[in-house]
Structures are given as structure tokens and as C-alpha cells.
Chains A and B, each alone.
Chain A
Amino acid sequence: MTEPEEVLRVTDLAKHYPVRSGPLRRRTGSVHAVDGVDFTLHAGRTLGLVGESGCGKTTTGRMAVRLLEPTAGKIVVAGRDVTHARGAELRALRRDLQLVFQDPYASLSPRMTVHDIIAEPLRVQGRYGDGGPARVAELLDMVRLAPAHARRYAHEFSGGQRQRIGIARALALGPRVLVLDEPVSALDVSIQAQIVNTLRELQRELGVAYLFISHDLSVVRHVSHEIAVMYLGTVVETGTREEIFRNPAHPYTQALLSAVPRPGPGAAGRRERIVLTGDVPSPIDPPSGCRFRTRCWKAQDVCATQAPPLVRRDGIGHPTACHFAEVTDVLAPA
């Protein structure tokens, strides 16, 4: 099997926000929202970006689609450096990169019919005149909505159906990359499963690459081929789905996996659970060295002085950013 085509590569991506204080609003520091993130997306594949609130996953996604200007780093789409694309070049880029938002209640205009919502990107790009209505009908069918839905307004739909409308709009221009930011987090589980399955089918049909951003490890497992785990603005571990779920080697990944309550009969109580102490530190003043060390049970002196790079380490098949990385299957019954 040939390696699927590379469609998006980000290198050393960073976003710092200035912190100003005092009467003159002088810059006194910066929030390191994202600090040196690398990843590659391939056609027809999904990279799951997981982490807790404030880890920088949403900021990373917005930079990847050029909705947010990176402070540093490089974004390459299909071999072209688009980090600083402007004007017409940026508009052209919108055909390749699209974003689906978390909240299907806030991201769709209540004044527009479903047809107009889905047609909007086509109109903006001047492509509606050329078979626009047929394209909208095709998109509705792709996301399993009925043709009659086109004339209705978004508020007439349930949360799951609204998310379908949002996905149809994002697919209108035939993008190579879809960044999905918590696309099913606002939905009930029975509906969430419908959307997850539709996303998987669409990817098989269209070969689009997904960057799937979520705090929910179980959902990420069901949609992702590869996974990157973020903590406080950096990627701490990355690998295939199997590697991350069966052989997690970074203490944070292990804690995250073991913290998820599981509904399997008798699953509770038999498991050793890793419970981290404390909260995530402030990104204004992140800990020196390894950013996870303040909550890590393995931390040693070296962790405070040397930031561990995200590299392949002895005996571990995938990259981890931990001086003391060690594979442990935390999901196996004890």
C-alpha cells in the first residue's frame, strides 16, 4: 500500500498572546497558548488532537486553517507554504481548509435557510452560478439530510441535524482538510454516534483529511488513525491509535486514559486509577523544563531543568516527551 498523500504539515507552530498590565499597559509577559507543535495530515486519514481545557488544541486547529495568525512556525498545504498567505491566496486556501465548530446552535445563522447556509461558501468563491443548487442538493444527500430540508431554517432542526448542516457547509468547496473542533461534544450519545458514523463514511467517500479536536478520548479513539496528546501548549505524546491506547508511555496520557470512567459491567473498582493532584498550571507562567512535572508522580530534578523533546525513546515505538517514558497498558484489567 502506498503512503497516503500528505495534505497539511505544520512545523513548530506557536501562538503567544501578550499579557499587559500597569497604567501604561506595558507588555509584562505572554500567554504561551501553543508552543511548538508539529503534525502532518494525510488524505483520507484522521489525526485526533486530545487534551483538557486550555491545552491549546483549539488554538492549534484555528492556526492550521489560518483563522488565527501563528506567532511562529510553518504551515504547508499540499507542498505550498501558506503560513503568511494573504488576500486572494488566503481566499483560495479556504477551498482546501475548512472548520466545523462545536456548537451547532451558535455557528449557523438563524436568518438563512439551510440552502443558503450551505450555498454561502460557493457564493463567496463565485462558484454558485455553476450548478450551485445541484451541488447543495448533493451535499444535503451526503450528510443524510432530505432535499426538503433545504427550505427550512436552522432553528427548526435538532442539534444532530444542525451539525450535519455545518458539515455540509464545510464540505461545499471540496476541501482537502476538515478541522473538526469538538464536533460532537454538545450532542447526546445516541445522536453523537450517528454523527461519528457519518463523518467516517464521508471520509471514506471523499478522502478528506480530518483534524479531530476533542477532550473525549473515547470518541477520538473511534475516529482517529493517529493521535496527538496535548498538555499546556505542547504535544506530549503522539502515535497510532493502537500505540496511544494500548501502549501509552507518557505519564499524562496514562493519567488521562485511566481517569475516564467506564461503563463496562464490573469495570469499576477493579482498576488501579491514576488520580493527578492539582490543576493545570497557568500558561502565563508555565513550569520550567517539563510542563507536566508539577502534577507528575515520576518527576525528578532533571524534569525542572530540561524540557524533554518529543522523540522516539528506547523500547517505545512512538514519540514521547518524557525523560522517564515507559509503556504501561493502563486500560487492562488489573
Chain B
Amino acid sequence: MKAPHRKAAPPPRERPGNGPLLEIEDLVVDFATDDGAVRAVDGAGYAVMPGETLGVVGESGSGKSVTALSALGLIKPPGRVVSGRVVFDGTDLRTLPPRELRRLRGGRIAMIFQDPMTALNPVMSIGAQLREALRLHRPGMSRAAARKRAAELLTLVGVPGAERRLRQYPHEFSGGMRQRAMIAMAIANDPDLLIADEPTTALDVTVQAQVLDLLRLTRRETGAATVLITHDLGVVAELADRVVVMYAGRVVEHGPVAEIFGAPRHPYTRGLLESLPRLDGDADELTPIPGTPPAPGEAAPGCPFAPRCALARDRCRTERPELAPTGPGRASACHFHHELAEEKTA
């Protein structure tokens, strides 16, 4: 199947002011530990436009999942949102009463997780869970209508024999089929925003390809904006319009996917792309990033990437770089990003 998804993307939904659908600004999240608070997210933020797919990439501990989860009020103690602003379609989510926030989640905002077994209820049939998701957010919906819609949804996400499958329980589904069921549940209420946290990481590559196709299909069907959180740059390249690169709890670079991957303007983004083993091209030594990411809470005053960066100099160790524009619609948090532009990697 070809994937001309950028052209096929549906027109963004009508909304006042053409602003972003979700805006996260300067988010700070701490985790309490025996040794004091550890900063997991350190002033991260991004905006998601209606209908677009935004990839959020980073390695373990970069804060990519915590940022999204805490923006939706899903972070539990010992985690705590210290400060920041989260606005969804004009509503400030941080001041929203928990009841209203719950109504948004599963309604206008839906989620897909890496492990469907944690998101599905093991003692309820798939059909019952789908019907519950539907009727919770549409009190007027009849049982019969919910049953019919549940079957439609399961068919839409490519689960064959929907009628029979609705009566089955999650453990009777394979990993890929469970992921499909969870996607059906996520799109049940026609969300405006879909948060997908490592949606294909646990799947085998041939099943991953099926689920990626399905995510393309659901985007076409629902027109929902998607935040795709993943460590897999290939998945982002296939699915996302724009990408946000996170490191040590901060956004270090963002912009259109093809531009960022084709000509990175942050040494971390470049290092990540160079350390990636490839299916084509040069098959010899990889170029790793030296060292390891800072342990959470090991905050230095300057740039968090400086200890691993070949470009780093004194200024990087004392002055924290802020995101600065490096071209139309893109920005990098590197004091010396212009040097990467001059180098021009092949």
C-alpha cells in the first residue's frame, strides 16, 4: 500500500481562530523520591494543530510520555505537575475540575497505549467495553445502537468476524488484534485528539505494519489530530507531519519531519539519526553518541546534551539554550545550530 498520507489528510476541523488544538507550555513535572524531587520534565512544550500528526521522539527517560500524560492530568503521585500551561481547544486543562477532565478523556481526547492489556479490562468482553465507552459519553444512545456501532468499529479496525469477536475477552485476542480493539475503543467517540504512546512498540514488525496502516485509516476516518509518542524514528517518518525531539525532559528541536530528519539542526537529533542502524546504505560501523543521558535529576546549569556533544564549549556548560527558529516552522535549542547548517551533512 502506498502512503500518500500528507495529501490524503482530511481538512482540519472547523474551529474558531485556527489556533492549535492542544498547547503545552513550559511544563515542569517532578517525581518525589527518597533522595528528594527528581525533575522528569523540565520546561517542555509543544503545540498540536487540528488534524495533524505530531511525532514526539526521544529515548527512555527523555520525558516524552510523562509530558503528554501529565498534560492530560494522568500523572499520579509520586509524580507532580509543578508548573506550566496546558490548553485544549481554548480550555485550560490544569484548572479544569477532575470530573470535566474525565469527560474530555475518552471523549474528545482519546488514548492508545503500548500494552493493550493494561488498557483493556480482562474480565469484560470486548463488546461490553466498547459499548460502555460509547454510552458513557453519549447517555442518549440506546443499547441496540451501541451494539451496532461496536460491531461497526471492530470491523473498521480490521477485526474479522466482529459479531463473534465482540463476545470474546481480551485474552482471546492476539497482540495485534488487541491493539486493534484498543484503537476501536479510542476512536469510538470520534475524538478530536488522539494520544498514542508507543502504539506499535510491543508488536512484531509485520503486525506493526498492519497497525500503522490502521492508524492512517483511522486518521482519515476521524480527522483527529494525533500525538504519536515513540522511540522509533522510522515510525515517525512514516506517519507524522511534524516532529518534536526531546532530551532530558526538554524539547531540543522541532519542525516538519522531512526537514528535521533530512537536515537536523541540533547535535542530539543528528547523533540519533547517525547512530541508527539502517536497512540500506552503509552497513559498517555505526556512529554512536558517546556517553549516556543524564540520570533524571542530574540537572546541570547549561545544555543537558553538552557532556555528550562534539560541538560543546564553555557557553554550553553555563548558559541553557532556548528554542530559537532555524527556518520556517522549525526551531532548535542549540547555541551553535548555525554550525550544523553550514556543515551540511550528506
Given A188-B231, A217-B205: A268 and B276 interface contact (C-beta under 8 Å): no
Q: Who on chain B is nearest to A51 by CB?
A: B204
Is residue B1 contacting chain A, with contact meaning CB distance below 8 A? yes
From 251 to 282 in chain A, residues with beta carbon under 8 angstroms from any chain B beta carbon are: 255-273, 275-277, 279-280
Among B163-171, B206-214, B313-321, B332-340, the stretch that binds chain A is B206-214
Q: Give the distance in Å from the alpha carbon of A110 to the alpha carbon of B234 in the complex.
A: 35
Is residue A62 contacting chain B, with contact meaning CB distance below 8 A? no
Is residue A191 contacting chain B, with contact meaning CB distance below 8 A? yes
Q: Give the distance in Å from the alpha carbon of A255 to the alpha carbon of B231 in the complex.
A: 23
Given A52-B205, A259-B209, A272-B2: A241 and B238 interface contact (C-beta under 8 Å): no
The 8 Å CB contact of A259, one of B208, B233, B283, is: B208
Given A268-B238, A276-B206: A189 and B272 interface contact (C-beta under 8 Å): yes
Q: Give the distance in Å from the alpha carbon of A266 to the alpha carbon of B4 in the complex.
A: 11
The 8 Å CB contact of A217, one of B60, B271, B272, B279, is: B279
Q: Who on chain B is nearest to A277 by CB?
A: B210
Q: Give the distance in Å from the alpha carbon of A189 to the alpha carbon of B292 in the complex.
A: 11
Is residue A326 contacting chain B, with contact meaning CB distance below 8 A? no
Q: Give the distance in Å from the alpha carbon of A200 to the alpha carbon of B208 in the complex.
A: 29
Q: Cβ of B205 and Cβ of A256 under 8 Å apart?
A: yes
Query: Which residues of A sit under 8 angstroms from B213, Cβ to Cβ?
Result: 275
Q: Give the distance in Å from the alpha carbon of A265 to the alpha carbon of B237 in the complex.
A: 7
Query: Which residues of A sit under 8 angstroms from B261, Cβ to Cβ?
Result: 263-265
| Interface 1/0 per residue, A215-247 and B, CB below 8 Å | 111110110000000000000000001000100
Q: Give the distance in Å from the alpha carbon of A125 to the alpha carbon of B79 in the complex.
A: 48
Is residue A196 contacting chain B, with contact meaning CB distance below 8 A? yes
Given A257-B279, A272-B2: A190 and B238 interface contact (C-beta under 8 Å): no
Is residue A158 contacting chain B, with contact meaning CB distance below 8 A? yes
Q: Cβ of A263 and Cβ of B1 under 8 Å apart?
A: no
Is residue B148 contacting chain A, with contact meaning CB distance below 8 A? no
Query: Which residues of B sit under 8 angstroms from A215, Cβ to Cβ?
Result: 204-205
Is residue A193 contacting chain B, with contact meaning CB distance below 8 A? yes
Given A222-B283, A259-B209: A52 and B275 interface contact (C-beta under 8 Å): no
Given A188-B60, A189-B272, A259-B205: A267 and B287 interface contact (C-beta under 8 Å): no
Is residue B143 contacting chain A, with contact meaning CB distance below 8 A? no
Q: Cβ of B237 and Cβ of A263 under 8 Å apart?
A: yes
Q: Give the distance in Å from the alpha carbon of A160 to the alpha carbon of B289 in the complex.
A: 12
From 163 to 198 in chain B, residues with beta carbon under 8 angstroms from any chain A beta carbon are: 174, 176-177
Q: Cβ of A245 and Cβ of B237 under 8 Å apart?
A: no
Residue of B235, B279, B285, B293 contacting most chain A CB atoms (<10 Å): B279
Q: Cβ of A221 and Cβ of B277 under 8 Å apart?
A: yes
Is residue A331 contacting chain B, with contact meaning CB distance below 8 A? yes
The 8 Å CB contact of A269, one of B5, B205, B231, is: B5
Is residue A197 contacting chain B, with contact meaning CB distance below 8 A? yes
| Interface 1/0 per residue, B198-234 and A, CB below 8 Å | 0000001111111011000000000000000001111
Q: Cβ of B204 and Cβ of A266 under 8 Å apart?
A: no
Given A189-B275, A218-B279: A160 and B292 interface contact (C-beta under 8 Å): yes
CB distance from A313 to the nearest CB of B (A): 23
Q: Give the distance in Å from the alpha carbon of A26 to the alpha carbon of B236 in the complex.
A: 50
Is residue A53 contacting chain B, with contact meaning CB distance below 8 A? yes
Q: Cβ of A218 and Cβ of B212 under 8 Å apart?
A: no
Is residue A113 contacting chain B, with contact meaning CB distance below 8 A? no
Is residue A192 contacting chain B, with contact meaning CB distance below 8 A? yes
Q: Who on chain A is nearest to B208 by CB?
A: A259
Q: Give the distance in Å from the alpha carbon of A196 to the alpha carbon of B288 in the complex.
A: 9
| Interface 1/0 per residue, A15-56 and B, CB below 8 Å | 000000000000000000000000000000000000011000
CB distance from B213 to the nearest CB of A (A): 6
Q: Give the distance in Å from the alpha carbon of A272 to the alpha carbon of B1 in the complex.
A: 6
The 8 Å CB contact of B206, one of A259, A263, A268, A270, is: A259
Q: Who on chain A is nearest to B202 by CB?
A: A53
Q: Who on chain A is nearest to B212 by CB?
A: A261
Is residue A306 contacting chain B, with contact meaning CB distance below 8 A? no
Given A256-B206, A273-B1: A190 and B272 interface contact (C-beta under 8 Å): yes
Given A259-B205, A268-B238, A269-B6: A197 and B288 interface contact (C-beta under 8 Å): yes
| Interface 1/0 per residue, B1-18 and A, CB below 8 Å | 111111000000000000
Query: Which residues of B sit under 8 angstroms from A191, Cβ to Cβ?
Result: 288, 292
From 283 to 299 in chain A, residues with beta carbon under 8 angstroms from any chain B beta carbon are: none
CB distance from A9 to the nearest CB of B (A): 26
Is residue B286 contacting chain A, with contact meaning CB distance below 8 A? yes
Instruction: Pick the 6 closest A-B CB pairs, nearest first.
Output: A261-B234, A265-B262, A193-B288, A188-B59, A193-B275, A52-B204
CB-defined A-B contacts under 8 Å, sample of 10: A190-B289, A197-B285, A216-B277, A221-B277, A221-B278, A245-B280, A260-B279, A269-B6, A270-B2, A271-B2
Contacts beyond the supplied A259-B205, A261-B232, A273-B209: 15 A-B pairs with Cβ under 8 Å:
A53-B204, A161-B292, A190-B288, A191-B288, A191-B292, A193-B275, A193-B276, A193-B288, A218-B276, A266-B262, A268-B238, A271-B2, A272-B1, A276-B210, A277-B210
